[in-house]
Amino acid sequence: MKVETLRWFNNRLEMVDQRILPAAFEYLSYYTAASVAEGIRSMVVRGAPAIGVAAAYGVALEALRLQDKLAVEFKDGMEAGFTVLAASRPTAVNLFWALQRMRRVWESVAEQAPQQIAQRLLAEAHEILAEDIRINKAMGAHGAVLLKDGARVLTHCNAGALATAGWGTALGVFRSAVEAGKKISVIADETRPFLQGARLTAWEMVQENIPVTLITDNMAGYMMAQGEVDAVVVGTDRVAANGDVANKIGTYMVAVLAKRHNIAFYVACPLSTIDLNIATGKDIPIEERSIEEVKGFRDYHWAAEGVKIRNPSFDVTPAELVTGLITERGVVLSPDAQSIRKLMMGRVV
């Protein structure tokens, strides 16, 4: 089954409701920037690249919705749409990257009629979606080379088709390796509190018959100590100019353990996730989400009444723990400020 995380259908955006997977596979429909923003905030859609694509469609939907207004009303409405989308989630830079790209397109045709602007923005959203899949496949090809035949690869959270427009970043590397004829097996951290590993990564791998073993997050060290992990590949929500990596909470822990056990730790990272405006990881804003998520799962709560709760949704893995960044332009080993600058300037690294 090919997973279409987001799709344009009957002049609306449809997104798989990832909150109810794997129990149910359903699409929700979106017509406005505000509803897309709410879909991002509530994690109907999640994963940095998918959030970027969703935000691009949010801008296009808003333009379509406002295209019969006067130019001044159209402009004000569009600005409000950008604002609500930008406020949906703070950590993934792809959100801001996609909004900036849509704004530039808008500015390039600002003199045209709203209907024409709307069509141009919709075309750009389609292009961002198609590009995302192309980029993932390019990353997959570069990353697949790093995995030996028979590799047992641990991943955290879901950097799969469901986190992108298709294929996936980290899981895209696994798909590409399998496509290239390598036997790969995946170890999926369940990834509390939202359980993206247990629900989404496990589901995606089962769909494709890629062998996958589920563990709780606190078993990763045991598996490594037993010699059952050959490599780690994760996604990322933002990479700083010096190579520090923000990703789902718990990624840092996996990286520290991998270092201790001399296991390669790779980050699958489209260029749109690299933020040269952020010098180091400590400047990346870390979203703290509702404490309800940690009390239990969905409406089922098990935590003792009266306990305080923290819920940082991301952490930062320092560049020194990263064996390599897998990008659509190639793999940057031991990333640092210099090699990342070169990468972004388009040089072969």
Residue ranges that bind its own copies, judged by CB under 8 A: 22-23, 156, 188-193, 195, 198-200, 202-203, 205-206, 211-223, 225, 249-250, 252-253, 256-257, 260, 294, 296-297, 300, 302-310, 312, 315-316
Which amino acid is present at 133? I
The nearest distance, CB 298 to its own copies, in angstroms, is: 8
Which amino acid is present at 269? C
- 29 vs 218 by CB, closer to its own copies: 218
Q: Is 249 helix (H, G, I), strand (E, B) or coil?
A: coil
The nearest distance, CB 278 to its own copies, in angstroms, is: 17
- 84 vs 220 by CB, closer to its own copies: 220
The nearest distance, CB 333 to its own copies, in angstroms, is: 22
The nearest distance, CB 127 to its own copies, in angstroms, is: 32
The phi-psi region of residue 293 (left if phi > 0; otherwise alpha if psi is between -120 and 50; otherwise beta) is alpha
Question: Residue 217: how many CA atoms within 13 Å on its side-chain side?
Answer: 18
Q: Is 237 a catalytic residue?
A: yes
- 60 vs 220 by CB, closer to its own copies: 220
**Dihedral angle computed from the Cα positions of residues 112, 115, 117 and 122, in that order, rounded to the nearest 10 degrees:** -160
Q: Which of 132, 189, 237, 275 is catalytic?
A: 237
Q: How far apart are CA 175 and CA 324, in angstroms?
A: 19
Instruction: Report CA torsion sign: 237, 243, 245, 246.
Output: negative
* Residues in Cβ contact with 219 at an 8 Å cutoff, skipping those fewer than 6 apart: 189
User: Which backbone phi and psi does 40 adopt, to 5 degrees?
Assistant: -70, -45
The nearest distance, CB 322 to its own copies, in angstroms, is: 15
The nearest distance, CB 338 to its own copies, in angstroms, is: 25
Structure tokens, 266: 């790779």
| C-alpha closest to that of 191 among 153, 225, 234 | 234
Tokens 């690294």, residue? 349
Q: How far apart are CA 302 and CA 280, in angstroms?
A: 37
- 112 vs 311 by CB, closer to its own copies: 311
Neighbours of 347 (CB within 10 A): 11
- 123 vs 303 by CB, closer to its own copies: 303
Q: Is 317 helix (H, G, I), strand (E, B) or coil?
A: strand
Q: How far apart are CA 73 and CA 285, in angstroms?
A: 33
- 121 vs 233 by CB, closer to its own copies: 233
User: Which backbone phi and psi does 59 adopt, to 5 degrees?
Assistant: -65, -45
| C-alpha closest to that of 269 among 249, 296, 240, 293 | 240
Tokens 């799709």, residue? 7
- 123 vs 225 by CB, closer to its own copies: 225
The nearest distance, CB 44 to its own copies, in angstroms, is: 17
Neighbours of 113 (CB within 10 A): 12
Active site residues: 237
